[in-house]
Amino acid sequence: MQSKIGVLIRCYSITDYLPYLLKNYAWVDRIVVMNYRFTSAEPREDDTEEVVKEYIDKCFENLKVPNIQLNKGEGLKQHAILNKGLKLLSDCDIVFISDADEFMTQGAMRDIAIKMIEDDKNLGYAKIIDYAFDFYHRFDNRHLSGALVVVKPQEIKFKHIRQPQDTNLRKIQFEHILYHFGFVLPPETLKWKLQWESKEEKLDIVKGIGETNIVLAKPPDKEIMELLDEE
């Protein structure tokens, strides 16, 4: 039996990269977009639904019907949104976990998918580069540290943001890179994001950024840059 691969994308208000992310995941069997405002986030104009519908319309024009499900709501914490999304994707063998500002190359994702399906591990982690305000600088404190990117949905439940409830799960660390653009955003969007992130993580992220070294970084993989430049 052929394995089924899904992706769970969380998105509310920050849709700058969402159309490109949807295209980047066009190869998977199912895409579920969880369009929820986190309980810690102030209400803000949100066009997630419109972006998803526009992407679907373009796919129909090219006779490529995407398997996308948009799930809307509010009043849930981050981990609860993930848990609800995993239930919707419970028919998949593995599920990639992504916010709307996180990218991996398709080659990396396909390699991860193969290894996760073949292995008996529950969780897969990738290295992460946290870009700082543009694609040529990064925050030094999180450079190449691990980020959870893929799970087996029947075996996982989250307890806080992306922290699994069960600490004894079998993990695999991949050498592939997750490119995080969460700080490469317009100033007003970034200000709003930092406010709720500070509440979620119970620390002053603005102060933390000010105290963190920003160093030169290689730009994201050519495949990702070409994806972002297409339109």
Whether pLDDT at 116 is above 50: yes
**9 lies in which domain range?**
5-127+147-183
Q: Is 231 within the bounds of a domain?
A: no
**CATH assignment of the domain containing 9:** 3.90.550.10
Total domain count for the chain?
Answer: 1
**d(Cα 6, Cα 9) in Å, to the nearest integer?**
10
Terminal Cα-to-Cα distance of the chain (whole angstroms): 38
Q: Give pLDDT, residue 168.
A: 83
User: Does 218 map to a domain?
Assistant: no
- The Cα 112–Cα 106 span in angstroms is 10
40: Cβ contacts below 8 Å, ≥ 6 apart: 77, 196, 199, 200
Residue 158 lies in a domain: yes
Say if 212 falls within a structural domain.
no
Strands 5-10 and 145-151: unpaired
Q: What digits encode the pLDDT tens for the residues 151-198?
A: 999 889 999 888 898 878 899 999 999 999 999 999 899 888 888 877
Q: Greater confidence, 88 or 199?
A: 88
The overall pTM is greater than 0.85? yes
pLDDT digits (tens, 9 = 90+) for 192-210: 888 887 777 655 555 555 5
Tokens representing residue 39 in the block: 């309980």
Residue 105 lies in a domain: yes
Assess if residue 40 is contained within a domain. yes
**Mean pLDDT value across residues 49-57:** 94
User: Residue 167 domain-assigned?
Assistant: yes
Q: In 3D, which of 34, 3, 189 has the Cα closest to residue 110? A: 3
In a domain, 50, yes or no: yes
